[in-house]
Structure 1
């Protein structure tokens, strides 16, 4: 027996040695596989860290300056320090020489301060086998030695975007690999020593106690018997308190013993269950089949929903029936194991649903380990990025990095995640095909039961289209759709910023306002498409004269705004003068038409004394229209003491007052009678307007209407007058039988307002006021300036029954030439001819001519500014149809018309 023991010992030692040799060989292969994988990952990362298209066919020494080469070195070095590789670099071959195009550096090399320029540095000690990679374009792992040391290296061929060839490489020191292998060998030797040390006391004990074993054998047997009895008791206790139900049944399938858990699962007691014949009483066919398998000598298995015989218990049951045999091999019963897996099944079903939800999620789902290595991606990841799971599993998500996300964002990301908090943000990522996309990400840490972070899960949504639409909407809200320039609102934001900068940094800037002279001629002659094209061409011409940091905007219509940052007034003058000089040479061509374009411009300085952006806009606007009033095609510089500009500033103040009056309904209606001179008929009235100031004073229209015309508010006033006049007439329609009509004045701006025209038509058609009682007056100059719009406006309302009078007739240079193109009913002779008709024969001749031409064309005539009875009598002799002026009545509130109606009614009653 001793010989056998020693043989067993020798076999044991031989087995340990063989195992150690085999395990060391296997571990060496595994370490080299891991090292080669690390080197490959690191080498493939190198081109991603370098600028896009860094490698190209025309590379030559000196292309990259030392600063950019150092930047590339630091990028590669930072990445290498986070890996096991000591060097990352790229190579190209020119002729028979191999050159470095980039290379990382160790921490010691970086700290030494020596020159690290590696671009086109000859690799003088290059291993000749590297040429095989250039020749065969196949990756190669080599153990090499050069002037930097001995390394395990990988050389991977790569192709740049333009098709040129280069190699990306990574090195790991041989000494580091040997250290890993030696460390493993030491572990294995330590393990062998432990095995042998474990064997030594056994051998020692065997040798010393060999004789005692025989003597103590009987005692040991007795002790073992007692232990078996104790073990049986423990086994019974374990069975009794097992978390699964266990029972024994005999060869007739009668239950003979159960544990406590079995009774709990079925909701019954041992009194009921012991003696239960399963084959006779089980109703579930699949469960009976599993039991029958066990009685036939096979292990019976059942899994699925189960309802107890009593119907009181429903569960998801996992059952196993194991046959037992006697000494002769005959089946004499078996052991059953029941486990209520309802809760686990519910959890499993939930997990399946969650898994399906993740798999079919419209969003990208990525799970990484704690170090950031990808462990799972769902199918949506492939749809969005183009990478398949086997291409990214085990790699870092930085392979999606486009290089446009700042290091600060990544720093904040890791700081937040490692603190156990959720991080949200937006990345500009790169797909496999190089296409960029925007991704909104929510990254959360996953912890175990101890609160330790084990994984990270990232939910990513492709918001590229959303960003595109958002950018497009943002562009549309901040830019003029016609020219692509900033719109007024965005320009005012920029102007506010510049004014604040001037206040805080005592800087100086120049604000310019440009208005195109006679732009309306192009629109009226060639149409709005021509006008739009002209605006685009002029915006390009102006933009060519500006610096990149200057701001150009089109606030609307035919106006442009320029903000010259950090510029002097002299620079602003030069810019405007250059634009004007270019416009002198510029000719706008549209079909057969040729136009010369001129501009008027205003300039103002923005400095620490500028009170606000609003005041700067008011100043430059005033300066521009001072230039326009001075004769156009010139520019004017704002000056607080300039008389013309003070007038313009008054316009601005009136414009503000008009807006407030419209909001507060502070206008009032007045009327002045228009009486017939040739025949007996009802009196008509001209509707006039007054503004009630905040102090309660009435303001005549001559004070505020010029400002309304200048700042395009006139049509809003017209709408107020029309609305309130028609409402007043509708309210008092039963008391207006004594009047002929009410005449409402319209500005030139209203003639082209389609919305106002539509409003008037609806009001007349839906109202109770007869159209014949509504008359509109438009000035001759407004009608001529807006001839096409005026014709449409007049014809549209005349078709309803309204009448039109041409006001201030005779003041224009071409009055009679235009008259036949305007289908009006009355001519209102300009008061400058009427006022001196008694003393000036030329004025009398003008009145006579206008009256005669009007009658020939089927129109009636009205003379205004009739200030004496003598003038009125002379007009009657000349055949003028109506008169209006102070000799008849001064303007009075509109409600006085009702007083006139009462007086007329009383007079008629007395005469009766």
Structure 2
């Protein structure tokens, strides 16, 4: 019986020990998960804070090294470093991907790095040893937790993809050292071992109570007591060691509140020494009322608690303190002192404060923020939600966002939304929602699932932005990109898309259609005599008249200038010709009135069939274009139907052949650069040169520009030629820059088509910013007519390059009677007086008066003037007398290959040497 009883006792003890160890393991695993969840939450919080600390629109399209000054980059580093100073996070930073490489665009620095004075500039610093798995954050646009090793250390990191306001993708990230995490886990393990040891010590009285063998044999009991005493001493030492190395401060005080014992952590928290603290009477010396009340509670048998800011009396150290005073009793139940636990929670409080700030940021966010449970019931909305929808929080809490459904959003969108969210992925999309007052609005939403530590979805958070105005502007922009702003008709690009669809339909279904090209005859007369405002009004009136005379299903477009295109769907050429003749008859009776003047309006028309024989839309456009110009050449105010054997159309096909030759010459690099001097008339200044172009034929002959440039303008190849000229001129300058000291500037001609070419503008800016060519040497010439026809694009083009130091000349100035009206809107530096005034300046007093007027107005507007077509010395002398600044023409030099500029340099050096001799 005794033996069985002993076995039961030992089995019970063993079960108890196993239970304690199992509980220890389970609690450690649970605490590890909690710590990692806390760490991951801190990582996300700090990573998301990085873009908020950086300047507005910091990440944007076209970011490149050198965009920001080192001082600004350093300021960003210090701002990020200050933010994480009191957190467990060691680094926060942002990354940008360009090509196959990752770059830092900002980064914090550690306290040691700041004190060591290391180089702290991180803008566009390559992340050479980046973990390849980081790419996944860019590819999947999802947050990513990784444990990474690089030259800075071993970290647990989060990488969160972000989009800037203009759509630029970047990553915001944060790191915590693995060593710090392991230290936290180690501290927790020590605590658990200490408590487990205390629990196991409770076994001793159990064993003494239930061990019959020990009670029966005194000697054995004495030996056992002796053995247990030694174990208790060992356990006491172990417990003392655990207390001494505890991560919290622990101390003992007697019934008079005098400190008798403390661990090292308590000494560190207080900021004093053991000699000062032992014997310290807290009731007599503590100054904080709340802390004193907590102490008195413990001396009265209650557990006293304190939390708040505290400054120690002995160490004068300020901390955020969490304290607990536990009373201790003797064997009679009397209070004989107590044990207190002090924890320095300064860092945790700082983190809590940061979280409050982030919470405030969410509350005051300019975007709507909605949080729902897993069933979609709303648990939280911020103030912006009320501002946008009109619903107060109490009206929507507990309900679903379906109350905002207007019925205008497709059901497929909601299906896709739930499939995406329940798969754990973030969903982005646009809703057409309804406000409380019934008003509809467009909302762009980002909805993300929130998961717990087990990966289960517990909530959804939605960020919503009212994009109604953006949508309206987008619709306007879309209309502007597909329509002519002057007449409201389709533009060329959109018309060509419609034509392409019609051609495909005709080839597939053998349907018949007709394409029409209309050109207003003598339109330039109205532009020149009454100005472009009158010309614009004429185009509007003619477009209305044409639209009223065609069927609703017919397509009308204005491709540009004084031209119109029409597509008669499901109509024969005869039907189309009758419709056009009706339009022409109506125009004969129409008179355009402008102020006190009246003008007749006539048109030339080209027609071609679109059927199963039509190869492409491009071919149809060539045919109708040629037919229209044939109508103009045969007397205007006529309709001409395309015919492959028509002699006049064969002549215009020459343009097409030149267009083909131009494309081939561009591919084969058969253009050549020429230069013509521009000499000063009033002062001893350096010469300038105008860069001109020639075409080298396959037979080796030089073709002048008058032969091929009309075809280039006709078939929209002028911009490609301009790009070739600019690229080769800048390359020539960069190669010969050391030999160009005698040159003031090189002038490059730009066509009207180039003024709206953003790609060309970007190429010029990059070439100059990279320092290959000094901007002061570059001058661009644009014709007056091209500048006026593309006034908005011209102003943007000119201002963008003038900021870099380039100059601009307005070519052929004076050719239009509205020149002076537009001049004040063009920020040019020089005026090139049209050669038609310069040629006869000696014999024609009107031409002389025109040159004098243009020169005087140019000088008043702080511009220099250049006279072109200076063909003899008499003209040059007269121009000098009139005060014109520069001259250009055959009297000075004919155009020569561009390398002749270098020969001029040698002649200049030789002349200088002769003067010295």
Normalised to the residue count of structure 1, the TM-score between the two structures is 0.47
For the pair shown, which has the larger CA radius of gyration, 1 or 2?
A: 1
Normalised to the residue count of structure 2, the TM-score between the two structures is 0.47
